[in-house]
Amino acid sequence: MKNILFFIAVFCYGAVYAQESYDSVYMKNGDINVGKVAAINDSAISFTYKGETLEYNFKKADMSRIIFASGRVQNFESLKPITNTIATTNTKTSETNVDHRNKVAILPFGFLSLNQQNSIEWGYKAQEECYTYLNKSTTFSLQDPSNTNALLGTAGISFENIRNFTNQQLCNLLGVEYIIRGTVTTNAVSLTSSGSASYNEKTKNGSDKKGNNSKTSGNVYSSTSTQQNYKTSVLMEIYKDTGDKIFGRDRDSFWSTLDAYKSTIQYLLKKSPLYNGK
């Protein structure tokens, strides 16, 4: 019996899909709904999810903001109580005269994607990745992300309203000299498919009544796989407790995988003044 194994074909193709713009509705429980806002009334909005036609109603009381496809932002949260909270916190910080020198806090990253619903959790993952990598190669004292997030939460600062506070306020609240801020932007851009096939031939020796010397049979095996490709970019900025920016740079990821942001964060950290690795 003779076995012959050979590859018939290996193919790859990429299809780039046009990215349609959608509205993003941010809920107070952390959910982000991507689709189209059809109407807004006094107490609710009418909303259709991306790729669907059924219309839903969301109460304004459950929403924090809407980022429309045009870029316009409509907020539904009152910021006055939060402002009072951080003002009180800053007063207490000044009274205790916290030493900020050589201390660094890393804020949760913004994570922007039309295709990733749980962007807040991805922002926390990027924050942890930044902390873990920098902590290996710096002479500065890094604040644990769990403490950073607890302080922000106690002051009423969330992903939705953090832009309403100055970098100086955030440094004073966290008791650090430097804060690292970052934004990861990722979008699905193409699908790459690959496939292979093989033929397993079997030959049986011998003769039949008609004089044939052999019989041949075989099986064909094939497999295909599809991979989603992503375009990812990372913006990283570092500010002092004086409010001055000491570092700011963005970079597109070389890799096309969903976790490509990790290596890009590492690259930017190596270029920052807080990194002391060789």
Q: Kindly tell me if the per-residue pLDDT of 73 is higher than 90.
A: no
52 HSE (CA, 13 A, CB side): 13
Give the range with max mean pLDDT: 69-73, 103-107, 213-217: 103-107
Residues 26 and 121 in one domain: no
Residues 33 and 118 in one domain: no
User: Residue 183: inside a domain, yes or no?
Assistant: yes
The CATH number given to whatever domain includes residue 275 is 3.40.50.10610
Residues 12 and 31 in one domain: no
Give mean pLDDT, residues 128-132: 96
DSSP 162-188: GGGS-HHHHHHHHT-SEEEEEEEEEEE
User: Residue 74: inside a domain, yes or no?
Assistant: no
Q: What is the pLDDT of residue 132?
A: 96
Give mean pLDDT, residues 127-152: 95
User: Residue 238: inside a domain, yes or no?
Assistant: yes
- Give the range among 16-20, 61-65, 274-278 with minimum mean pLDDT: 16-20
Give the pLDDT confidence of 205-235 residue by residue, as tens digits. 555 555 555 555 566 556 677 777 888 999 9
Furthest-apart CA atoms within the chain: distance in Å:
106
- Cα–Cα distance for residue pair 164/173, rounded to 1 Å: 14
State the chain's mean pLDDT as an integer: 78
The CATH number given to whatever domain includes residue 57 is 2.30.30.100
Give mean pLDDT, residues 138-147: 96
User: 149 CB contacts (<8 Å, ≥6 apart)?
Assistant: 108, 124, 127
Q: What is the pLDDT of residue 3?
A: 46
Residues 140 and 58 in one domain: no
Q: What is the pLDDT of residue 17?
A: 36
Residues 112 and 125 in one domain: yes
User: Residue 75: inside a domain, yes or no?
Assistant: no
Q: Kindly tell me if the per-residue pLDDT of 18 is higher than 50.
A: no
Q: What is the pLDDT of residue 200?
A: 61
Q: What is the pLDDT of residue 77?
A: 66
Print the domain residue range for 126: 1-19+80-278
